[in-house]
């Protein structure tokens, strides 16, 4: 993490790291048949509206009373910078795109060429199947939830077939989500999950906001964004975002509690992300455009290689995580 620039001025980071209430409830499905390259689903519940893209099962847009809670991206496109994409069967990086599991070496495709790593699993630009509701054209219904599914693997360096299902449901103030990975192989398979959420404080610029989090320990990273050395105390919380650049991994050592982060403006208006207790790791990242990514994960960067907090799924075994995003209003 780098300190804020004087006077809250900020420049492009140069540290060499890769930037790798109407009461109406309804739903719309848009697909390729209506001229869009990526199918998507739009959900409505009162003042809450969410559009879910089939690409990466990413939330393309989430608003409450027309105010954004997550970073949005253009209709018909793939999520830029992994915006709001689910991450499986591993989040973050695998150093040199290589790891050993059960005594066998596996060489993945390099998907972060600048640093030579494999990053964020197989979900980036992966077009998921929309399971519920079904339809190929614009559709109105009373549903305010959607389920998506895809098959991951076998892939080069990844011999295990994994079924991944994602479920989104609107709430009165945002949405709830869950993701389940099931090992379809006849042998144990490694697995870690995450989500690449970019938080938006209802329209406030990130430099006008403060990031509150529950991270107690920081995992130092080397110049290639791979863990290096023992964890150390996180230097500051909350984080005043004005001019601050982040690309840091952190850990919450307290078991059995939700992992909560809030991005709020000076008046206390903003957004809250809460992840399930089995996602104790978080990567926090600011993009060149000053978007703030808070990425809950079940395991740290390079977990496939180190085995730290890595889940091993028996045949038929499953790993489920969940998270929610909600609007925070000013408290008088």
Q: What are the Cα distances from residue 50, in Å, to 103, 170, 194, 274?
A: 44, 8, 20, 17
Residue 42, pLDDT > 80, answer yes
Average pLDDT, the chain: 88
How much is the pLDDT for 36? 52
How much is the pLDDT for 235? 80
How much is the pLDDT for 37? 81
Residue 1, pLDDT > 70, answer no
Residue, of 270 and 29, whose pLDDT is higher: 270
- 282-308 pLDDT, tens digit per residue, is 999 999 999 999 999 999 999 999 999
Average pLDDT over residues 190-198: 99
pLDDT band at 237 (very low <50, low <70, confident <90, very high): confident
Q: What is the DSSP letter of 82?
A: G
Within-domain flag for 217: yes
How much is the pLDDT for 319? 99
Average pLDDT over residues 93-101: 98
Residue 13, pLDDT > 60, answer no
Within-domain flag for 20: no
- Supply the pTM of this predicted model: 0.88
Within-domain flag for 1: no
Of the candidates 309, 288, 102, the one whose C-alpha atom is nearest the C-alpha of residue 194 is 309
pLDDT band at 2 (very low <50, low <70, confident <90, very high): very low
Within-domain flag for 97: yes
Do residues 265 and 208 lie in contact, with contact meaning Cβ atoms separated by under 8 Å?
A: yes
As given in the structure block, the two tokens for residue 257 are 């509690």
Residue 14, pLDDT > 60, answer no
Do residues 161 and 186 lie in contact, with contact meaning Cβ atoms separated by under 8 Å?
A: no
Residue 250, pLDDT > 60, answer yes
Flag the least confident range among 72-86, 147-161, 208-222, 229-243. Answer: 229-243
Average pLDDT over residues 31-37: 45
How much is the pLDDT for 143? 75
Length of the chain: 332
Do residues 163 and 149 lie in contact, with contact meaning Cβ atoms separated by under 8 Å?
A: yes
How much is the pLDDT for 304? 99
Q: How many CB atoms lie within 10 A of CB 203?
A: 14
Q: Is 62 exposed, middle or buried (0-12, 13-18, 19+ CB in 10 A)?
A: buried
Q: Which domain holds residue 93?
A: 27-328
The number of distinct structural domains making up the chain is 1
Flag the least confident range among 55-64, 205-214, 235-244, 257-266. Answer: 235-244
Of the candidates 103, 119, 121, the one whose C-alpha atom is nearest the C-alpha of residue 111 is 119
Average pLDDT over residues 258-272: 97
Strand 292-297 relative to strand 281-286: parallel, antiparallel, unpaired? antiparallel
Average pLDDT over residues 164-170: 98
CATH number of the domain at 208, please: 2.70.98.10
| Terminal Cα distance for the chain, rounded | 33
306 — phi, psi (to 5°)?
-90, -25
Within-domain flag for 7: no
Do residues 243 and 205 lie in contact, with contact meaning Cβ atoms separated by under 8 Å?
A: no
| pLDDT > 90 fraction of the chain, expressed in percent and rounded | 83
Within-domain flag for 176: yes
Q: How far apart are CA 209 and CA 200, in angstroms?
A: 10
Q: Which residues of 274-287 are buried (b: 16+ CB within 10 A; e: fewer)?
A: bbbebbbbbbbbbb
Enumerate the β-bridge partners of residue 53: 40
Within-domain flag for 310: yes
Within-domain flag for 11: no
State the alpha helices, DSSP H only, in the chain.
303-306
Average pLDDT over residues 50-54: 96
């Amino acid at each position: 993490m780098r300190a804020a620039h004087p006077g809250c001025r900020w420049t492009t980071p140069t540290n060499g790291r890769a930037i790798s209430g109407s009461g109406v409830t309804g739903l719309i499905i848009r697909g390729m048949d209506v001229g869009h390259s990526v199918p998507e689903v739009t959900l409505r519940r009162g003042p809450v509206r969410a559009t879910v893209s089939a690409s990466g099962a990413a939330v393309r847009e989430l608003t409450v009373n027309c105010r954004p809670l997550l970073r949005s991206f253009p209709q018909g496109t793939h999520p830029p910078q992994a915006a709001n994409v689910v991450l499986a069967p591993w989040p973050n990086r695998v150093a040199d795109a290589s790891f050993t599991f059960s005594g066998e070496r596996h060489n993945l495709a390099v998907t972060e060429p600048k640093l030579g790593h494999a990053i964020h699993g197989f979900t980036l630009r992966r077009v998921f199947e929309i399971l519920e509701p079904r339809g190929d054209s614009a559709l109105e219904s009373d549903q305010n939830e959607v389920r998506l599914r895809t098959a991951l693997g076998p892939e080069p360096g990844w011999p295990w077939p994994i079924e991944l299902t994602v479920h989104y449901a609107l709430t009165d103030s945002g949405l709830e989500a869950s993701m389940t990975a099931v090992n379809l192989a006849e042998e144990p398979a490694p697995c870690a999950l995450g989500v690449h959420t970019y938080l938006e404080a209802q329209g406030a610029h990130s430099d006008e906001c403060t990031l509150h989090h529950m991270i107690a320990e920081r995992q130092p990273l080397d110049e290639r964004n791979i863990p290096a050395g023992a964890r150390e105390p996180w230097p500051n919380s909350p984080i005043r975002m004005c001019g601050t650049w982040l690309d840091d991994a952190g850990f919450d050592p307290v078991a059995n509690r939700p992992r909560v982060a809030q991005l709020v403006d000076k008046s206390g208006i903003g957004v809250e992300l809460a992840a399930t207790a089995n996602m104790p790791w978080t990567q926090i990242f600011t993009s060149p455009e000053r978007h703030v990514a808070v990425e809950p994960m079940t395991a740290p960067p390079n977990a496939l290689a180190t085995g730290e907090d890595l889940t091993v799924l028996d045949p038929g075994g499953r790993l489920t995580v969940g998270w929610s995003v909600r609007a925070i209003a000013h408290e008088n």
